[in-house]
């Protein structure tokens, strides 16, 4: 039963993540509560971080293993985890991080937190969402390190959610960058270079 609740928790988490990032939801909130406009991104990130920490905490309280950890499991931990962290770090460097986290005021309600506008260089020349690739690799390494059923649920739910989240994120990017983003979509794959 606990795993059902964890699964529901991840569904709610990802749904709220997408809903609260939607431009229409932001406009509605800004209209109803104008004072939140300067704080929306910070509140959004704090809610996302709190939910993530809470769900991962409950995941670590579970004891059922997918498999017994063995010494050779350090290989996938290193093979997936280190590149995952490197990719996440390189991807994050392209953002104006204080703006991304909501610590400074965003330049416009519908803009992302990039200092350069639409980034198509570096890792973004190979895939449109390198931060997600890094996250997938890193979380996979965590599942090998701590092979809990609950973390397996986290990983699988993330894989199921990502195409949905990408769909909504890209709708927002098309509104923001128009034909430039559509041309970028045709040229560069979502997550796996040359494949998907």
pLDDT tens-place string over residues 150-184: 999 999 999 999 999 999 999 989 988 999 999 99
- What is the pTM (predicted TM-score) of this model? 0.86
Question: Per-residue pLDDT averaged across 63-68, rounded?
Answer: 93
Q: What are the two backbone dihedrals, phi and then psi, of residue 115, each rounded to the nearest 5 degrees? A: -75, -20
Question: Per-residue pLDDT averaged across 55-60, rounded?
Answer: 95
Q: What is the pLDDT of residue 102?
A: 80
Domains, the chain, in order of start with CATH, read 2-187 (1.20.120)
Task: List helix spans (H) across the chain.
Answer: 2-21, 23-32, 40-61, 74-92, 97-100, 130-145, 149-177, 179-187
Question: Per-residue pLDDT averaged across 46-74, rounded?
Answer: 94
Distances (CA, A) of 52 to 46, 140, 171: 10, 16, 24
CB atoms within 10 A of CB 170: 17
Q: What is the pLDDT of residue 99?
A: 79
- Is residue 179 within 8 Å of 95, Cβ to Cβ? no
Question: Per-residue pLDDT averaged across 41-69, rounded?
Answer: 94
- Taking 80 as the threshold, does the pLDDT of residue 96 lie above it? no
pLDDT tens-place string over residues 100-155: 778 887 655 444 444 457 889 899 999 999 999 999 999 999 999 999 999 999 99
Q: How confident is the model at residue 8 (pLDDT cuts 50, 70, 90)?
A: very high
Q: What is the pLDDT of residue 116?
A: 58
Distances (CA, A) of 40 to 51, 99, 114: 16, 11, 17
Q: Which residues pair with 95 in a beta bridge?
A: 114
| In the chain, % of residues over pLDDT 70 | 94
Q: What is the pLDDT of residue 32?
A: 92
Mean residue pLDDT of the chain comes to 90
């Amino acid at each position: 039963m606990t795993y059902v609740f964890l699964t529901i928790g991840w569904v709610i988490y990802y749904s709220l993540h997408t809903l609260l990032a939607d431009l229409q939801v932001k406009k509605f909130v800004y209209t109803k509560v104008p004072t939140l406009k300067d704080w929306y991104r910070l509140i959004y990130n704090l809610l996302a971080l709190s939910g993530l920490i809470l769900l991962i905490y409950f995941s670590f309280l579970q004891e059922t293993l997918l498999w017994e950890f063995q010494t050779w499991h350090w290989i996938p931990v290193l093979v997936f985890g280190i590149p995952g962290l490197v990719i996440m770090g390189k991807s994050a460097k392209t953002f104006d991080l204080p703006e991304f986290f909501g610590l400074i005021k965003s330049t416009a309600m519908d803009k992302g937190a990039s200092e350069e506008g639409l980034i198509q260089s570096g890792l973004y020349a190979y895939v449109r969402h390198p931060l997600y690739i890094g996250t997938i690799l890193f979380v996979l390494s965590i599942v090998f390190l701590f092979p809990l059923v609950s973390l397996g649920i986290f990983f699988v739910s993330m894989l199921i959610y990502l195409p949905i989240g990408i769909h909504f994120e890209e709708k927002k990017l098309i509104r923001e960058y128009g034909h430039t983003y559509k041309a970028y979509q045709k040229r560069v794959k979502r997550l796996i270079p040359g494949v998907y």
